[in-house]
Amino acid sequence: MAATKKQTKPFDLSADNLQQRIVHHLRSTLGTHENKANDKAWWNATCSAINELVFEKLTDTQASHSKQDTRAVNYLSLEFLMGRLLSNNLHNLELFGEAEQALKALGKDIYQVCEEEPDMALGNGGLGRLAACYIDSLATLGYPAIGYGIHYEHGLFRQEFKDGHQIERPDSWREYGNPWEICRPESVQEVPLYGYVESVFEDDGSMRKVWHAGRKLKGVPWDIPIVGYGAKLVNVLRLWESKPGEAFDWDVFNAGGYVDAQSEKAQAETVSKVLYPNDSTEQGKELRLIQQYFFCACSVKDILRRFKRANGNNWDVFADKVAIQLNDTHPAISVPELMRILIDEEGLTWAKAWDVCRHTFAYTNHTLLPEALENWSVSLFERVLPRHLEIIYEINRRFLETEVEAKWPGDDEMKRKLSIIKEDGGRMVRMAYLSVVSSYKVNGVAAIHTRLVKKDLFPEFNELYLEKIVNVTNGVTPRRWLKAANPELSALYDKTVGTGWPTQLNLLKDALPKAKDKKFQKEFMAIKHDNKLRLVKEIKALTGVDVSADAIFDIQIKRLHEYKRQQLNLLHILTLYRRLLANPELDMVPRVFIFGAKAAPGYHMAKQIIYAINKVADKVNNDPRIQDKLKVVFMPNYRVSLAEKLIPAADVSEQISTAGLEASGTGNMKLALNGALTIGTLDGANIEIAEEVGDDNIFIFGLNVDQVESIKRQGYNPYDYYYGNAELKAVLDWLDSDFFTPGHPGELSDIKRSLLEWGDQYLCLADYQGYCDAHARIDVAYRDTAKWAEMAIINSACMGKFNSDRSIQDYVDTIWHLKACPLG
């Protein structure tokens, strides 16, 4: 062998070579030419050039996996919030520099080319983005894994503002095709729905159940290659698109009682048409249940097909080869689906099938909010999935009669309490209970969240199943959220701690001795300033508002939800504004409050809060009296690619949920990693962030979980705070006036009502003063530029724990037990 030199990069490709490949694709794949290609074509050609390399590794990976046949994890999620892929793939292939050079030689700026890519917004928020980080980490660590989800035609809606109101527009991420995906017609699956169940008696006296479907859909798989960092292997994200099934039996269709005016084709394609835009709330809609079942049925069949190809009918080894992770309860129907296939189609006994399931499924819980816990009406289930309902009944019967009875003999109250079928107030299937009973492990997503899952959500299950509930604290991929999003800071870290940090994020700690070093502080803060200058331009372009990079950039970016308390942020902004109007000479460091958030289209109060922030922004930003000390910006259409611009420019990170309600949060990790200081409650992963950075380097305020519990127990009365705090009363009363909505008094009154008359469910008023005080501490701290720089450096350098590679390794060690299989 000639090559003795260790090849460190996945591909030894020069910029010249890449340039030729891009030009080749421009001409032969896209049929255009360098002289006339637009930026979209350049983007497309670059993707195609990269894809060539990716597919090579994808094929190798698949061959190597079939040969090794070790356990793989199947990550089932209704959401994968991927964002853009080009820059990420270039970084993971370690070809970003070469691509930059190649495009430059062709007269193109790589950042501009990357801007052409539409976000793959197949998710709502944290849960979907977590899934995206996790498949990146799985590939990076070389673990065999498949992500399974839905190939939505329309991802999360595009948000526009009209007179301050949120308007939802359809998102069409693949209107002109998508260069990353590969259709796999050879792996199409059929999905039955509706109809009825027949009991068939065999000659030997045994009985078998046959489900006669009323309707059949076809699931068409689209594969997106997932390149891990260093491209040790390429996994796939397999997304199912729904199409009408081949054979269609009208008699059964009518017998099943499902009648609808729309054509069958349109109906079939409706199933994967659009992502439900609710974050942490469930509405019990029929189409949503069908979406869930559709993608579970396709995925389970696909998993079985691969298993059988390697192992035939050797069901004894199924769980040794297959782990299925349920990303929240959304894919929980895959449990009765696997039971159904094993029993009705493969002829296994109940006991054997159940044993297989109980060693295969694991479930991640992402919330304690009661409105997010999925309960499906029994009658809906019966109509859409009659056989699955029977199976759930039987799972429940055996669970109650054996497990619950053994633990709490004769305790009918306990049986009622733990039943998978909720009987009072309309019969419902409790999907969380089904998931806990069927899984071999259940996990929460941050230490405090897991503690509360055990204590408040599933206390009896925790007693019944010792050690089933475990914690895996969330994480984020440092490749996207530092290396790609913040190239300057990445270069500084490369220089300071070496280039190993994108996988070994703990290495950032090696920069800690420099936290007090004046020169390092200057470099660190100069980078922050550059990032802020870039954001200043973006703000101007998107909102028309002028802001100064010398102000504190105070950023709250996340879904709009009352428990996340954007309205508390607003109350504080109003407080500052009032103080400034009373005293324009007030000595305060100029602040820019920046928001990014989408509201679920049917969530009235969330939309009111957006409207209020926009109206306050209009007024504040155009008030010459306050001399630019205060600016408020609501960035429209918050999404992954916008987060990548906002996060590197943040000074302050708002993580202000009511304690006990944010399961983890992941934006908190990304912002701190990029040198923002957190103002936050002792909630979710904030607690673990505080542990990592130390109490002196974070602005904690407000009630903790125990205090929230006790204040609620005593009977919380928001009026006590209203009448007890003159400033608070004044800003709340302000909302009733027409100051912010000239000629329309009362337009913002619902916010006040929700905080007083309607009980202030999320305790904003109780935390108001503490929050204002914490902001005052920030104002003081920011003036000491050296100290602030030191704190920012400490925050960034101490985020090693929140690498999603660590989370994935935790999953592997405590739940999945996988063996890494990197390509040789």
Residues marked active site are found at 366, 558-559, 564, 666, 670
Question: Could you give the CA distance from residue 657 to residue 260 in angstroms, rounded to a whole number?
Answer: 43
Q: Which is nearer to ligand GPU, 85 or 445 (CB)?
A: 445
- Give the number of other Cβ atoms within 10 Å of residue 737's Cβ: 13
Q: Which is nearer to ligand GPU, 129 or 528 (CB)?
A: 129
Q: Which stretch binds ligand GPU (CB under 6 A): 119-127, 164-172, 505-513, 687-695?
A: 119-127
State yes or no: residue 155 binds ligand GPU (CB under 6 A). Answer: no
Please report, as residue ranges, which positions from 310 to 339 form the binding site for ligand GPU (by CB under 6 A).
328
Strand partners, 73: 145, 323
- Phi, psi of 26, deg, nearest 5: -60, -45
Question: Could you give the CA distance from residue 688 to residue 707 in angstroms, rounded to a whole number?
Answer: 19
Q: Which of 474, 621, 641, 803 binds ligand GPU (CB under 6 A)?
A: 474
Cβ 810 to ligand GPU shortest distance, Å: 14
Q: Which is nearer to ligand GPU, 171 or 523 (CB)?
A: 171
Q: Which residue has the tokens 């870290």?
A: 493
Q: Which stretch binds ligand GPU (CB under 6 A): 378-386, 512-520, 664-672, 768-776?
A: 664-672
Please report, as residue ranges, which positions from 577 to 596 form the binding site for ligand GPU (by CB under 6 A).
none
Please report, as residue ranges, which positions from 433 to 452 form the binding site for ligand GPU (by CB under 6 A).
445
Query: Residue 724: CB partners within 8 Å, gap ≥ 6?
Result: none
Q: Which is nearer to ligand GPU, 191 or 445 (CB)?
A: 445
Q: Which stretch binds ligand GPU (CB under 6 A): 254-262, 343-351, 661-669, 800-808?
A: 661-669
Q: Which is nearer to ligand GPU, 595 or 722 (CB)?
A: 595
Helices (H), 122-189: 126-140
Q: Which is nearer to ligand GPU, 61 or 807 (CB)?
A: 807
Cβ 227 to ligand GPU shortest distance, Å: 23
Query: Residue 538: CB partners within 8 Å, gap ≥ 6?
Result: 635, 645
Residue 16: enclosing H or E segment and its boundaries?
helix 15-24
Cβ 148 to ligand GPU shortest distance, Å: 17
Query: Residue 31: CB partners within 8 Å, gap ≥ 6?
Result: none
Query: Residue 710: CB partners within 8 Å, gap ≥ 6?
Result: none
Cβ 452 to ligand GPU shortest distance, Å: 12
Residue 548: enclosing H or E segment and its boundaries?
none
State yes or no: residue 562 binds ligand GPU (CB under 6 A). Answer: no
Q: Which is nearer to ligand GPU, 590 or 601 (CB)?
A: 601
Strand partners, 189: 219
Listing DSSP states for 284-347 in one string gives --HHHHHHHHHHHHHHHHHHHHHHHHHHTT-GGGHHHHEEEEEESSTTTTHHHHHHHIIIIIT-
Q: Which stretch binds ligand GPU (CB under 6 A): 122-130, 395-403, 640-648, 729-737?
A: 122-130
Number of residues lying near ligand GPU (CB under 6 A): 19
Cβ 681 to ligand GPU shortest distance, Å: 13
State yes or no: residue 279 binds ligand GPU (CB under 6 A). Answer: yes
- Give the number of other Cβ atoms within 10 Å of residue 602's Cβ: 11
- Give the number of other Cβ atoms within 10 Å of residue 3's Cβ: 7
Q: Which stretch binds ligand GPU (CB under 6 A): 17-25, 120-128, 582-590, 782-790?
A: 120-128
Question: Could you give the CA distance from residue 83 to residue 61 in angstroms, rounded to a whole number?
Answer: 24
Please report, as residue ranges, which positions from 372 to 391 form the binding site for ligand GPU (by CB under 6 A).
372
Q: Which of 21, 340, 366, 532 binds ligand GPU (CB under 6 A)?
A: 366
Q: Which is nearer to ligand GPU, 348 or 799 (CB)?
A: 799
- Phi, psi of 153, deg, nearest 5: -70, -40
From residue 123 to residue 152, the character string flagging contacts with ligand GPU as x (rule: CB under 6 A) and all else as - is -xxxx--x----------------------
From residue 202 to residue 241, the character string flagging contacts with ligand GPU as x (rule: CB under 6 A) and all else as - is ----------------------------------------
Cβ 705 to ligand GPU shortest distance, Å: 14
Question: Could you give the CA distance from residue 190 to residue 537 in angstroms, rounded to a whole number?
Answer: 50
Q: Which is nearer to ligand GPU, 125 or 718 (CB)?
A: 125
What 3-state class would DSSP assign to 212?
Answer: strand
What 3-state class would DSSP assign to 627?
Answer: coil
- For residue 505, give the nearest of 352, 343, 692, 302 by alpha carbon: 692
Cβ 368 to ligand GPU shortest distance, Å: 9
Q: Which is nearer to ligand GPU, 279 or 767 (CB)?
A: 279
Helices (H), 427-548: 431-438, 447-452, 459-464, 478, 487-497, 518-543
Residue number closest to ligand GPU, CB atom: 126
Q: Which two tokens stand for residue 476?
A: 């984020």
End-to-end CA distance of the chain: 16
Q: Which of 221, 665, 702, 800 binds ligand GPU (CB under 6 A)?
A: 665
Q: Which is nearer to ligand GPU, 58 or 472 (CB)?
A: 472
- Give the number of other Cβ atoms within 10 Å of residue 743's Cβ: 6
Cβ 665 to ligand GPU shortest distance, Å: 5
Cβ 760 to ligand GPU shortest distance, Å: 20
Q: Which of 641, 664, 686, 796 binds ligand GPU (CB under 6 A)?
A: 664
Q: Which two tokens stand for residue 565?
A: 């308390």
Q: Which two tokens stand for residue 132?
A: 């995206």
Question: Could you give the CA distance from residue 625 to residue 581 in angstroms, rounded to a whole number?
Answer: 7
Please report, as residue ranges, which positions from 672 to 731 form the binding site for ligand GPU (by CB under 6 A).
684
Cβ 367 to ligand GPU shortest distance, Å: 4
Q: Which two tokens stand for residue 643?
A: 């987060």
What 3-state class would DSSP assign to 379?
Answer: helix
Cβ 544 to ligand GPU shortest distance, Å: 31
Q: Which two tokens stand for residue 773?
A: 């005080």
Count Cα atoms within 13 angstroms, Cβ side, for 488.
16
Q: Which of 666, 678, 754, 807 binds ligand GPU (CB under 6 A)?
A: 666
By CB under 6 A, name the binding residues for ligand GPU: 124-127, 130, 279-280, 328, 366-367, 372, 445, 474, 662-666, 684
